[in-house]
Amino acid sequence: MESFQTLSAGRCHVHILPHAGFRTKEVSIRLHVRMDRQHVTPYALLPHMWMNGTDKLPSTRSLTTACDNLYGASVRTSLGKRGGYHILELSASIPDVSFVAEDSLVERALDLLCDVLFDHTEGHGCFDDALVRRELDLHRRRIEAARDEKMSFALQRCFSIACEGTPAALPRLGFVEDLPKLNASQLFGAYEELLQNAEAHAYIVGPFDDLHSVGAALLQRLTEKMIGGSAVPIEREVLPRPESRSVREVTEYDDIHQSQLDLAYITGIGYADPEYPALLMMNGVFGGFAHSKLFIHVRERHSLAYTVWSHVDQVTGMLAVMTGISPEKREQALTIIEQQLNDLRDGKIADEELKYTYRSLRNQHTVLLDQPAALANWHHQGIMCGRQRDINELLTDLERVTRDDITKVAQAIAMSTLYFLTRKDEA
Amino acid sequence: MMSKQADLLKLTVTEHKLANGLEVCLMPKPNFHQTFAMFATKYGSIDNEFVIDGKRRRVPDGIAHFLEHKMFEDEHVDVFAQFAAHGASVNAFTTFDETAYYFSCTSDVKDNLNILLDFVQRIYLTDENVEKEKGIIAQEIRMGDDNPDRRAFMELLAAMYQEHPVRIDIAGSVESIYEITKSDLLDCYSTFYHPSNMVLVVVGGFDAKEMLEWIEQNQSQKTFGKAPVIERVYPSEPEKPGSPRHEVRLNVTQPRCLIGWKEPHGTSNGRDLLHQEMLTGVLLDVLFGKTSSIYTELLDAGLIDKGFSWEYELTEHYGYTVVGGNSPDPYALADRIARYVSHIRNRGIDADAFERARKKAIGRFIMSLDQNAYLAKTYLTYRLRGASFLDTVDALTSLSLADANRRLDEHLREESRVVSLILSNQATG
Residue A141 has what pLDDT?
A: 96
A73: nearest CA partner in chain B? B363
Asked whether the predicted pLDDT for residue A244 surpasses 90, the reply is no
Whole-number Cα distances in Å, A137 to A18, A45, A60, A75, A162 = 42, 11, 16, 23, 30
Residue A67 has what pLDDT?
A: 87
Average pLDDT over chain A, rounded to an integer: 93
Asked whether the predicted pLDDT for residue B7 surpasses 80, the reply is no
**Class of domain B2-220 as given by CATH:** alpha beta
A149-A157-A78 Cα angle (round to 5):
60
Ramachandran bin of B181, using left for φ above 0, alpha for ψ from -120 to 50, beta for the remaining angles: beta
Asked whether the predicted pLDDT for residue B3 surpasses 60, the reply is no
Residue B53 has what pLDDT?
A: 86
Domain B245-424 has CATH 3.30.830.10: yes
Q: For residue A356, give the nearest of B85, B132, B145 by CB distance.
A: B85
A-chain CB neighbours of B300 within 8 Å are 130, 134
Residue A179 has what pLDDT?
A: 98
CATH number for the region A248-422 comes to 3.30.830.10
> Maximum CA pair distance of chain B?
69
- Residue with the bigger pLDDT between A39 and A427: it is A39
Residue B2 has what pLDDT?
A: 47
Q: Does B5 touch chain A (CB under 8 A)?
A: no
> Maximum CA pair distance of chain A?
70
Enumerate residues 6+ apart whose C-beta is below 8 A from B125. B70, B73, B182, B185, B186
**Rounded-to-integer distance, Cα B322 and Cα B260, Å:** 4
Q: Are B358 and B286 in contact (CB under 8 A)?
A: no
How many Cβ pairs within 8 Å bridge chains A and B?
Answer: 192
Query: Is it true that B2-220 and B245-424 share their CATH fold?
Result: yes
Contact yes or no for A257 and B146 at CB 8 A: yes
Ramachandran bin of B209, using left for φ above 0, alpha for ψ from -120 to 50, beta for the remaining angles: alpha
Residue A242 has what pLDDT?
A: 83
Residue A69 has what pLDDT?
A: 86
Query: Is it true that A5-225 and A248-422 share their CATH fold?
Result: yes
Band of residue A100 on the pLDDT scale cut at 50, 70, 90:
low
- CA B314 to chain CA centroid, Å, is 10
Digit-coded pLDDT (tens) for B348-367: 999 999 999 999 999 899 99
Residue B9 has what pLDDT?
A: 75
**Rounded-to-integer distance, Cα B356 and Cα A99, Å:** 17
Residue A316 has what pLDDT?
A: 96
Q: Are A228 and A10 in contact (CB under 8 A)?
A: yes
Min Cα–Cα distance to chain B from A130, Å: 9
Whole-number Cα distances in Å, A293 to A124, A365, B196 = 56, 21, 38
Q: What DSSP character marks residue A146?
A: G
Digit-coded pLDDT (tens) for A193-224: 999 999 999 999 988 888 999 999 999 999 99
Percent of the residues in chain B that have a pLDDT greater than 90, as a whole number: 92
Please report the residues numbered 27 through 86 in chain B whose beta carbons come closer than 8 angstroms to any beta carbon of chain A: 29-34, 78, 80-81, 84-86
Band of residue B1 on the pLDDT scale cut at 50, 70, 90:
very low
Q: Within a 10 A sphere around the Cβ of A349, how many other Cβ atoms?
A: 22
A-chain CB neighbours of B305 within 8 Å are 138, 141-142, 145
Average pLDDT over residues A234-254: 91
**Rounded-to-integer distance, Cα B400 and Cα A142, Å:** 39
Min Cα–Cα distance to chain A from B420, Å: 18
**Rounded-to-integer distance, Cα A171 and Cα A169, Å:** 6
Burial of B37 (0-12, 13-18, 19+ CB in 10 A): buried
Question: Residue A190 is which amino acid?
Answer: A
ipTM, two decimals = 0.91
Asked whether the predicted pLDDT for residue A101 surpasses 90, the reply is no
**Rounded-to-integer distance, Cα B427 and Cα B429, Å:** 7
Q: Are B11 and A349 in contact (CB under 8 A)?
A: no
Indicate if B68 belongs to the active site.
yes
List chain A domain ranges.
5-225, 248-422
Residue B93 has what pLDDT?
A: 98
Residue B6 has what pLDDT?
A: 56
Q: Are B263 and B424 in contact (CB under 8 A)?
A: no
Residue A243 has what pLDDT?
A: 80
Please report the residues numbered 324 through 353 in chain B whose beta carbons come closer than 8 angstroms to any beta carbon of chain A: 326, 328
Band of residue A427 on the pLDDT scale cut at 50, 70, 90:
very low
Q: For residue A360, give the nearest of B10, B84, B306 by CB distance.
A: B84
**Rounded-to-integer distance, Cα B156 and Cα B258, Å:** 7
The 3-state secondary structure of B105-140 reads ECCCHHHHHHHHHHHHCCCCCCHHHHHHHHHHHHHH
Asked whether the predicted pLDDT for residue B50 surpasses 60, the reply is yes
List chain B domain ranges.
2-220, 245-424
**Rounded-to-integer distance, Cα B93 and Cα B132, Å:** 19
Contact yes or no for A359 and B85 at CB 8 A: yes
Asked whether the predicted pLDDT for residue B66 surpasses 70, the reply is yes
Min Cα–Cα distance to chain B from A332, Å: 14
Digit-coded pLDDT (tens) for A39-59: 999 999 999 999 999 999 999
> Which of B12, B249, B360 should be substituted to probe chain A, the one whose Cβ sees the most A Cβ atoms within 10 Å?
B360
B-chain CB neighbours of A148 within 8 Å are 148, 252-254
Q: What DSSP character marks residue B253?
A: S
Percent of the residues in chain A that have a pLDDT greater than 70, as a whole number: 97
B-chain CB neighbours of A255 within 8 Å are 250-251, 425
Q: For residue B84, give the nearest of A60, A65, A356 by CB distance.
A: A356
Residue A1 has what pLDDT?
A: 58
Burial of A160 (0-12, 13-18, 19+ CB in 10 A): middle
Whole-number Cα distances in Å, B43 to A397, B193, B229, B232, B266 = 44, 8, 14, 10, 17
Asked whether the predicted pLDDT for residue B8 surpasses 80, the reply is no
A-chain CB neighbours of B422 within 8 Å are none
Whole-number Cα distances in Å, A87 to A166, A272, B282 = 17, 19, 34
Asked whether the predicted pLDDT for residue B5 surpasses 60, the reply is no
Digit-coded pLDDT (tens) for B226-235: 888 999 999 9
Residue A102 has what pLDDT?
A: 57
**Class of domain A5-225 as given by CATH:** alpha beta
Min Cα–Cα distance to chain A from B427, Å: 12
Enumerate residues 6+ apart whose C-beta is below 8 A from B48. B58, B59, B60, B61, B63, B64, B165, B168
Residue A210 has what pLDDT?
A: 86
Q: Within a 10 A sphere around the Cβ of A171, how many other Cβ atoms?
A: 18
Asked whether the predicted pLDDT for residue B10 surpasses 80, the reply is no
Average pLDDT over residues B61-81: 95
Going by C-alpha positions, the residue among B266, B267, B261 that lies closest to residue B240 is B261
Average pLDDT over chain B, rounded to an integer: 94
Going by C-alpha positions, the residue among B155, B161, B153 that lies closest to residue B264 is B161
Please report the residues numbered 273 through 312 in chain B whose beta carbons come closer than 8 angstroms to any beta carbon of chain A: 289-291, 293, 295-296, 299-300, 302, 305-306
